[in-house]
Structure 1
């Protein structure tokens, strides 16, 4: 195809029907002359290019394979071979320093020293979010037992305190954040059987400005209904039917209408014995849900969430932790316990003007193992940026 484009073609566009012999010979001679000129031009160009390449080769100097002649020229009859080198990653990290990253900048909380570059590693979710490096301030911290997850989490949130941040631990199953809270001038609320401390997960919490009474009542009712539904699904280990949702909604509405401070035992009583149930069908629809929730107020977790809150949430403290180490039950009840305690604290954290705050979910696999509790946590995390909250999720491995 390239040769066809470089070839010269001639043709007569318009010719008389009866061309004379003399004119035809003249036309053919002109055609042959054009072809000859084109061949001579192509031959001259090829000859010039060949001469140029020969001149370039003559001007280029290459060292001989065996080296330059003369003394002290390191001549060798064989070729140069570079032996393979094998070493550890720690040694190669020094041999290849270009694999070290530049870091995330110097603004924020100092965490430690970078292993490869030797520089300081700084991490601050609010600073990185403001710079557009991350899309959300939430953090996931995973590691096997003994890898230093708790130490890293404590270092990160305690070093954030001088920057004006506050720390909240809505559920501490092992009680390891209690000493830290007391050391920084905060408070650790200990929950357990035989103690006088009670938390009411149905507390209204902080009321944002600009909401009317009707809007605020609707918001609180939706949050309470979502919490009770998630607790019931977790204890029953299944989803709720529409009839059971109706039973919970009617019982919660009746409890709020009759009491200024609704508590879980009141809701359970209205589920098991509705005040407006002429034919008894409503009580039958909510019977399983009522007995499931009864475990929280008269069973395994009695004395923890069955009354008004005996402690108040103080947003001025630098750190508040809910110590759940006194409760040693099965994993499902611990998950329910963490949900109730976190609901009490989260209702008080929904203040957009509360500043930048850490919320630490330790042993989060207990909550993530139940779909209903996971959906509730996901809905809360989606609003973290609006409220200035950075959630930290701590667990052992992703398969949890």
Structure 2
């Protein structure tokens, strides 16, 4: 509870606060399964024995009301009960699906703050073996400063922790959604891309050729290849070497990662109906 809740509180709190530590410690001490409403209650109404002069009440008011949104506000019911999922880092693959909440940036931020604590525990376990960490729609995660800083730390310590990190973008101009132009967050996001030793580029539309070539340092010949790449073909840049690769999916991989299944299944259904 403490390890998961502390980063969540930090995402909505301003600065450090003794009321946070006191509320967390009390919730963990007094319940077998401590949950967020217990922490909020202790922030807004601390034990008089812990708060003889009222300073904890004053100190915890701002963060308490911020967290109350997760308990009684528009996000109630999502984070205020016992966990319904057991995180098992021993599984061969763990996927966090945010597809149903992508339109709510606050919800994405809170979800990633909670789940990243689980991820951190697994990734930094010295007995956990080597890990492949994939950030799909990476720009969306990068738009949250705390998550961006955590990604940067994983990049810098990748070899130490046995990590291989993969950023996935539909187009590199998505990075323009990270922070303001010239901001520290934009610079940090661009540095993650710059530090990638292997870049894989699939077919690009004409209007994306210039930004892609500049961001990845492509030669004129490599740039001209991009619009003509077929399905599954990618330009691999490994440091100073370049290769055009035709990627092949195992049937099991295709079943797991086919993003066109709904459209193709409808097409097949219509074809069968027409033939009948």
What range describes the TM-score normalised by the shorter chain of this pair? Answer: 0.5 to 0.7
1:383 and 1:305 map into 2 onto residues whose CA distance is 31
Given the superposition, is the C-alpha separation of residues 225 and 311 from structure 1 closer, same or farther in structure 2, using an over 3 Å criterion?
closer
Q: 1:263 maps to what in 2?
A: 35
CA contact (8 A) 1:353 1:387 kept: no
1:372–1:247 Cα change, 3 Å: farther
Paired residue for 1:378? Answer: 152
Is 1:231 the counterpart of 2:4 in the alignment? Answer: no
Within a 5 Å distance, the mapping from 1:313-324 to structure 2 comes to 313-324=87-98
TM-score, length-scaled by structure 1: 0.38
1:366 is aligned to 2:128: no
Match of 1:336 in 2: 110
1:312 aligns with 2:92: no
Secondary structure at 2:165's aligned position in 1? Answer: strand
The aligned runs of 1:9-20 (5 Å cut-off) are none
Q: 1:287 offset after TM fit, Å? A: 1.0
CA RMSD of aligned residues (A): 2.7
Alignment partner for residue 53 of structure 2, among 273, 279, 289?
Answer: 279
How far has the Cα of 1:289 moved from its partner?
0.8
Give the CA deviation at 1:292: 0.9
Paired positions, count: 172
How far off its partner does 1:290 sit?
0.9
Higher helix share: 2
Q: Describe how 1:35-54 pairs up with structure 2 within 5 A.
A: none
- What is the SS of the residue equivalent to 1:390? strand
- Which one of the candidate residues 387, 391, 395 is aligned to 2:165? 391
Secondary structure of the residue aligned to 2:96 is strand
How far the C-alpha of 1:360 sits from its partner, in A, is 1.8
Given the two structures, how large is their TM-score scaled by the length of structure 2?
Answer: 0.53
Instruction: Verify: 1:247 aligned to 2:27, yes or no.
Output: no
1:76 corresponding residue in structure 2: none
Q: Could you say if the C-alpha distance between residues 321 and 224 of structure 1 is closer, same or farther in structure 2, counting changes exceeding 3 Å? A: closer
Q: In the alignment, what sits opposite 1:325?
A: 99
**For the structure 1 residues 253 and 241, does the alpha-carbon distance in structure 2 shift closer, same or farther, using more than 3 Å as the test?**
same
2:38 & 2:97 partners in 1: Cα distance? 26
Residue of structure 2 in register with 1:357 after alignment? 131
Q: Secondary structure at the match of 1:248?
A: helix
Select the structure with the greater relative contact order (CA < 8 A; seq sep ≥ 6): 1
